[in-house]
Amino acid sequence: MRIILARHGNTFGPGDTPVWVGAKEDLPLVDKGREQSVAIGTYLTRQGLVPDQIIAGPLQRTREGAELIAVETGYDPGAIRIDDRLKEIDYGSWGGKSDAEIIDLYGEAVIHDWRERTIVPAGADWSPGPEALKQAALDVLNEIVAQDHETVLLVSSNGTLRYFHAAWYDNLATAPPAKVKTGHICIAEWMSGRFIPEVWNLNPATPLTE
């Protein structure tokens, strides 16, 4: 069995100021984001990784991305399962703010620690907390393994996907960075009772064999 994680595509276009987009910022994909979703579907089809189950978070950026991937791979969009555990983190008062605004309020180090080390800022009003997110990721993965599909695709967001990274990699010190860029994917094989990561944060334009 292979499990594929995909981050939704872009939600900001040229000229837009990116802001922190969490569970309460339900933005749609922009044109580039839709193109990225189609590219994921094209890549999976060419690599023989057509999913027999697609599960997406409930926000419109993940639902729309999953639907576009489904169409490209020949999967029935109506069969996509929505799972609230794949919803992005609620960034609380950080949501809707730019990096510059966050730095003015809290300093640059907190952003660096989150992006590079997945350390939730002390006192931040984010939810769920790290332990709940870790458990949710494990629960989702365990349920998928129990169903014994051939290839399963999960479409989620960067904050949530960081906790799947922790579930896949035994040694985080030697693992690749946890961040998943928009429109990028991660692939692992379930073998002998454990996840064997094959790629993390792969641009679909890059061949799997590289």
The CATH number given to whatever domain includes residue 60 is: 3.40.50.1240
Q: pLDDT tens digits, the chain, 210 residues: what are they?
A: 999 999 999 999 999 999 999 999 999 999 999 999 999 999 999 999 999 999 999 999 999 999 999 999 999 999 999 999 999 999 999 999 999 999 999 999 999 999 999 999 999 999 999 999 999 999 999 999 999 899 999 999 999 999 999 999 988 889 999 999 999 999 999 999 999 999 999 999 765 443
In a domain, 77, yes or no: yes
Task: Answer whether residue 99 is part of any domain.
Answer: no
Number of domains the chain is built from: 1
Q: Which residue range forms the structural domain that includes residue 152?
A: 2-90+127-202
Task: List, edge to edge, every strand of the sheet that includes 81-82.
Answer: 81-82, 53-56, 151-156, 2-7, 185-191, 194-202
Q: Kindly state the tokens that stand for 60.
A: 């419109």
Element (H, E) at 53: strand 53-56
* Residue 186 included in any domain: yes
pLDDT of residue 209: 43
Place of tokens 């939810």: 127
Q: Within 13 Å and on the Cβ side, how many CA atoms surround 12?
A: 12
pLDDT at 208: 47
- Residue 101 phi/psi, 5-degree rounding, is -70, -40
pLDDT of residue 178: 97
Which whole-number Å values give the CA distances from 175 to 65, 165, 183, in the listed order? 27, 9, 20
Report the candidate in 132, 135, 41 with the shortest Cα–Cα distance to residue 80: 41
Distance CA 38, CA 48 (A): 16
The amino acid sitting at 84 is D
Look at residue 209 and tell me if it is in a domain: no
- In angstroms, the first-to-last Cα distance of the chain is 21
